[in-house]
Copies of this chain bind each other. A is one copy, B any other.
Amino acid sequence: MRLIDLSVPINEDTPIYPGDPKTEIKPNGVMDTDGYEDHFVCVGTHVGTHVDAPRHMIKDGKSLDQITPDNFAGRGIVIDVRNGFSLEKVKAADIKEGDIVLFYTGMSHRYHQSAYYDAYPAITEEIAGYLVEKKIKMVGVDMCSVDHEPFKVHKIFLKEQILIIENLTNLEALIGREFKIYAFPIKLQIDGAPARVIAEILG
Contacts and interface: CB of A to CB of B under 8 A. Distances in A.
Interface of A: 1, 3-5, 7-11, 19-21, 24-25, 28-29, 31, 35-46, 48-49, 55-57, 59, 65, 68-70, 72-74, 150-151, 182, 184-196, 198
Nearest to A184: B196
Nearest to A36: B57
A40 B36 contact: no
B44 A3 contact: no
A56 B69 contact: no
26 contacts: A1-B74, A3-B73, A7-B187, A10-B186, A10-B187, A21-B28, A28-B45, A31-B59, A37-B56, A37-B57, A37-B190, A38-B45, A38-B192, A39-B191, A41-B42, A41-B45, A41-B188, A42-B42, A48-B186, A69-B198, A72-B196, A182-B184, A186-B186, A186-B194, A186-B195, A195-B196
